[in-house]
Homo-oligomer: A and B are copies of this chain.
Amino acid sequence: MEIKTYLDEQRQRVEKHLADLMLEPVGAFSRHIESMRYSLFVGGKRIRPILCLAAATAVDDDEKTYQRAMPVACSLECIHTYSLIHDDLPAMDDDDLRRGKPTNHTVFGEAAAILAGDGLLTFAFDLLSSQVSAGINDSVRIRIIQTIARAAGSLGMVGGQSLDMLFAGEQVGYEELRSIHRSKTGALITASVLSGALVARADEAQEEALQAYGDHIGLAFQIVDDLLDVEATTEQLGKPAGSDIKSDKVTYPSLFGMETSRTMAREAVQEALAALVLFDRKADPLRALANYIVERKK
């Protein structure tokens, strides 16, 4: 399959639904809702929602299943966006730009940005429990909510960010690096895959396989992010690749070098593909996504 066309089409479908489902910037809270919409629609690859939809399709390619997974997919993007807003805050990574655009707090102020994040996180659980998700069986919905809450919470994404802040400026080893990534990025990626599988009523073997797939692509995703961080620097600043690895954050390239890191990413993708062996051609989008993750240029 042509991955670029597939990703473009999926991204557009996700963005159309996000626009439909998201609160409208009218009434007393319009400024606050505008601030949430700004970050939600400022761009992004929409990888998490697409993984959710592709996992649902891998189990059951009925269009109705895809449609049922859509609000879950959107809730994952809300959670991802909230995490970026809070990560960019002055008290955290203090970033002015994200995807080449001013970060939320730069545009709306710090207080509004904190609240935009809080609002998006809460809205994710609103979506998962509202009429728009009513096509999903209630006990499945509860499992999906649990899967996402765990992955996004203190033993997952939030915990990972807290480790990342805690270890900033410190020389940590591979164990710590792996632990930060697994919780900060990996947990929500795996939850995206799993929640799609749950919508499609995956059996136990399928769930287990998709859990493994999610874990491996989560790792690959992170290694490639680290690699791209170095390579972008090369291009933009004209420094030799690898020389600008941030001194205050341990990365895969800083621990293993560029070549070994690339090999590790490729191996992780191979393991992700191997986990899909029990799936037929319906899992081709997941396979293409795994390859895309390691080959992407941004």
A residues at B contact (CB < 8 Å): 23, 28-29, 31-33, 36, 86, 89, 91-92, 109-112, 114-115, 117-119, 121-123, 125-126, 128-130, 138-139, 141-143, 145-146, 149-150, 152-155, 158-159, 161-163, 165-166, 179, 183
Q: List 14 A-B contacts (CB under 8 A).
A: A28-B163, A29-B162, A32-B163, A86-B118, A115-B161, A119-B154, A119-B159, A123-B149, A125-B149, A126-B146, A129-B145, A138-B142, A141-B142, A142-B142
Q: Is the CB of B118 within 8 A of A28?
A: no
Assembled-state Cα–Cα distance A256/B23 (Å): 34
**A112 x B32 contact (CB < 8 A):** no
For the complex, give the distance between the alpha carbons of A25 and B153 in Å: 14
Inter-chain contact A31/B145, CB cutoff 8 Å: no
With contacts A32-B162, A158-B119, A159-B28 taken as known, whether A129 is within 8 angstroms of B114 at the C-beta atoms is no
Copies in the complex: 2
CB pair A165 B115 closer than 8 Å:
yes
**Could you say which of B112, B121, B183 contacts A162, with CB atoms under 8 Å apart?**
B112
- Distance to closest chain B CB from A184 (angstroms): 11
* Given known A23-B155, A153-B123, A154-B29, contact A146–B165 (CB-CB < 8 A): no
* Consensus secondary structure, chain A interface: helix
- The chain B residue sitting closest to A92, CB to CB, is B111
A118 to B162, CA, bound (A): 11
Residues of chain B within 8 A of A111, CB atoms compared? 89, 91-92, 165
Assuming the contacts A29-B154, A138-B138, asked whether A149 and B129 have C-beta atoms less than 8 A apart, the reply is: yes
Please tell me if the beta carbons of B121 and A118 are within 8 angstroms of each other in the complex: yes
Q: Which residues of B contact A150 (CB under 8 A)?
A: 126
**A125 to chain B: which residues have CB within 8 Å?**
125, 145, 149
Which 4 residue pairs across A and B have the least CB separation, nearest first?
A91-B110, A32-B162, A129-B146, A122-B153
Q: Is the CB of A154 within 8 A of B91?
A: no
In the assembled complex, which residues on chain B have CB atoms less than 8 Å from the CB atom of A33? 154
**How far is it, in angstroms, between the C-alpha of A128 and the C-alpha of B110 when the chains are bound?**
30
In the bound complex, residues from chain B placing their C-beta under 8 Å from that of A121 are 118, 121-122
* Cβ distance A116 to chain B, nearest Cβ, rounded Å: 9
A154 touches B23 (CB 8 A): yes
Cβ-defined contact, B91 with A166, below 8 A? no
A175, chain B: closest CB distance, angstroms: 10
Q: Is the CB of B146 within 8 A of A29?
A: no
